[in-house]
Amino acid sequence: MSSTTGLLATRRLILQGAASVALIGLGNLPFGAARAAANDKYPEEAFKQKSEADAIKALYGKTAEPSDKIKLDAPEIAENGGVVPISVTTTLEKVTSISFFVAENPNALAASYKIPDGTVPSVANRLKMAKTTNVVAIVEADGKLFSATKEVKVTVGGCGG
């Protein structure tokens, strides 16, 4: 009898423990997000975020506004989601970084590039896309964030087997 109640008590304790750990885990997320993009370290937290908005917040700590000074080049239709050529060029001045987000990938942030003084604010790369979704380019210029968005239709995803 007493051993049964003992077991139940332990079980309850374990459950409570698990619940509080989960809560603490959730509570911690926003703090990791405070890291600025100017930081030289690899932005691990930003790469872990699922949604594009959270990833932008984790990487830069602010929100972006759309700009027509960013040219985002991506195919209308990508036959192979594993290799989608995407490039960004901007006429904005004082650009310090350019980042690429794929909205509905398991983790939205794909790549982030630091653009030091003297480097042309233009980057081309190839990304994986799980399915048809928006590709968002964020340009950080003079301390502000600007974005450009384009939908790319994917016929074969780049994340399945």
Partner 1 sequence: MASTIRVRATANGDITEVQALIQHPMDSGFVKDAKGELIPAHFIQELKFEYNGKDVFVADWGPAVSKDPYVKFSFKGAKKGDDLKISWTDNKGASDTTTAKIS
**Part in contact with partner 1 (CB under 8 A); list of ranges 19-27, 61-69, 77-85, 140-148:** 77-85
Residue matched to tokens 């016929």: 155
Q: Which is nearer to partner 1, 72 or 84 (CB)?
A: 84
Query: Which residue, 93, 102, 31, 25, is CA-closest to 61?
Result: 31
Structure tokens at 142: 């003079």
Q: Which is nearer to partner 1, 31 or 42 (CB)?
A: 42
Q: Closest distance between partner 1 and the C-beta of residue 139, in Å? A: 14
Count of positions on this chain that bind partner 1 (CB under 8 A): 34
34 binds partner 1 (CB under 8 A): no
Residue 145 contacts residue 138 (beta carbons within 8 Å): yes
Q: Which is nearer to partner 1, 25 or 161 (CB)?
A: 161
Q: Which is nearer to partner 1, 64 or 78 (CB)?
A: 78
- Judged by CB under 8 A, the chain residues 93 through 152 that form the site for partner 1 are 102, 105-107, 109-116, 118-120, 122-129
58: enclosing H helix or E strand: helix 52-60
Phi, psi of 70 (to 5 degrees): -110, 130
What count of Cα atoms within 13 Å lies in the side-chain half-sphere of residue 49?
Answer: 26
The rounded distance, in Å, linking the Cα atoms of 141 and 60 is 12
Which residues contact partner 1 by CB under 8 A? 42-43, 47, 82-84, 87, 102, 105-107, 109-116, 118-120, 122-129, 158-161
